[in-house]
Amino acid sequence: MTDHAAAERPHLVEKENSGVIDWSSGPRRFITVYLPLSIFVIVLLFPFYWMAITAIKPNAELYDYKTYNPFWVSSPTLDNIKRLLFQTDYPQWLLTTMTVATVATVLSLFSSVLAAYAIQRLKFKGSQYVGLAIYLAYLVPPSILFIPMATLIFQLGLFDSQWALILTYPTFLIPFCTWLLIGYFKSIPYELEECAMIDGATRLQILWQITLPLALPGLISAGIFAFTLSWNEFIYALAFIQSAEKKTVPVAVLTQLVEGDVYHWGSLMAGALLGSIPVALLYSFFVDYYVASLTGAVKE
């Protein structure tokens, strides 16, 4: 017995040690961790570098890989960006997208907070089925809804108006936000509300003064999600808006900046980059909330 144990132990210790050394030793860690990680980062970020460099390249360099190194720009120019801002409706598209995304987000957050509160806090008969229905609503993709939605929008007289987008975006924003907020409300101790109720507070007062302030991180991340999902939305904006000046950035860049056979790649890339910056900024400020809520949503 003791012999056996003695024989076993050094073997085990050695194995454990070698494992530790293997993973922390410089060259091996470089090959197994840092090298693949750098390749991932480079590949994932390269299109943005390429966008940025194209946006500031003069045409002479853009189409001449023999004389100039395509990965760099020798004489950067703002012409592409100027053309985009002063010779196209780009500022108008940005404004439209911002308006639509903001109003749709506010509308969805308002509806989702109330719905999530009802489902999670005002427990009622069948509340789990309402929750399930909302989860299922999230699984209905816009790609199967846009044709009937287009006929509905037309009948309602909303075709080619911003309201068409503001009222249809909540169909994918509400399920998502509600789902996220249910998770947040769940994490807030119910006892806090009970205490307030014993003190004689009404349910709406509880929601407004106790639950919502505590759920603020959840509200912020739901808001960021909703805003960026609206900013990203494409198929409804493509199908329901006709006038050039009422289009949202993603649709307008693709349909208005690409005219005929001549692609102004510089301006196109500038347009794509500028359209990405607002959401990228939003995320960079709230990236920790964002990652937390994403992991929270997945864990739910």
Partner 1 sequence: MTIAAEARTAHHLPQNWLVRLLDNKSFLIFLCLLPAAALLLIFLTYPLGLGIWLAFTDTKIGRSGHFIGFENFTSLMQDRVFITSVWNTLLYTGVATVAKFALGLWLALLLNNHLPFKSLLRALILVPWIVPTVLSAIAFWWIYDPQFSIISYVLVDVLGWRTSYIDFLGEPWAARWSLIAANTWRGIPFVAISLLAGLQTISPALYEAAMLDGANAWQRFRHVTFPMLMPILAVVLTFSVLFTFTDFQLVYAITRGGPINSTHLMATLAFQRGIPGGQLGEGAAIAVAMIPFLVLATLFSYYALARRKWQQGEEND
Q: Which residues between 160 and 219 bind partner 1 (CB under 8 A)? A: 167-168, 170-171, 174-175, 178, 196, 199-206, 209-210
**Residues in region 219-258 near partner 1 by CB under 8 A:** 228, 231-232, 234-235, 238-239, 249-251, 253-254
> What six digits make up the tokens of 61?
């360099």
Residue closer to partner 1 (CB basis): 223 or 271: 271
On the 0-12 / 13-18 / 19+ scale of CB atoms within 10 A, 213 is: exposed
Reduced to 3 states (helix: H, G, I; strand: E, B; else coil), residue 171 is: helix
Chosen residue from 30, 50, 129, 190 binding partner 1 by CB under 8 A:
50
Give the phi and the psi of residue 258 in degrees, each rounded to 5: -100, 100
Give the phi and the psi of residue 120 in degrees, each rounded to 5: -90, -35
Residue closer to partner 1 (CB basis): 70 or 79: 70
Which window, 80-88, 182-190, 215-223, 285-293, contacts partner 1 (CB under 8 A)? 285-293
Q: What does DSSP assign to residue 245?
A: G
Minimum distance from residue 222 beta carbon to partner 1 (Å): 13
Scanning the structure block, which residue is given the tokens 């990203």? 232
Give the phi and the psi of residue 170 in degrees, each rounded to 5: -55, -20
Minimum distance from residue 87 beta carbon to partner 1 (Å): 19
**Residues in region 51-70 near partner 1 by CB under 8 A:** 51, 54, 62-63, 65, 70
> What six digits make up the tokens of 11?
């073997």
Which window, 77-85, 86-94, 211-219, 281-289, contacts partner 1 (CB under 8 A)? 281-289
Which window, 10-18, 76-84, 183-191, 211-219, contacts partner 1 (CB under 8 A)? 10-18
Reduced to 3 states (helix: H, G, I; strand: E, B; else coil), residue 7 is: helix
Distances (CA, A) of 190 to 152, 208, 296: 42, 15, 19
Which window, 37-45, 80-88, 182-190, 214-222, contacts partner 1 (CB under 8 A)? 37-45
**Residues in region 71-130 near partner 1 by CB under 8 A:** 71, 107, 110-112, 114-115, 117-118, 122, 124, 130
On the 0-12 / 13-18 / 19+ scale of CB atoms within 10 A, 172 is: buried
On the 0-12 / 13-18 / 19+ scale of CB atoms within 10 A, 109 is: buried
The residue count for binding partner 1 (CB under 8 A) is 100
CA distance 15 to 42: 35
Minimum distance from residue 75 beta carbon to partner 1 (Å): 18
Scanning the structure block, which residue is given the tokens 């739901």? 222
299 binds partner 1 (CB under 8 A): yes
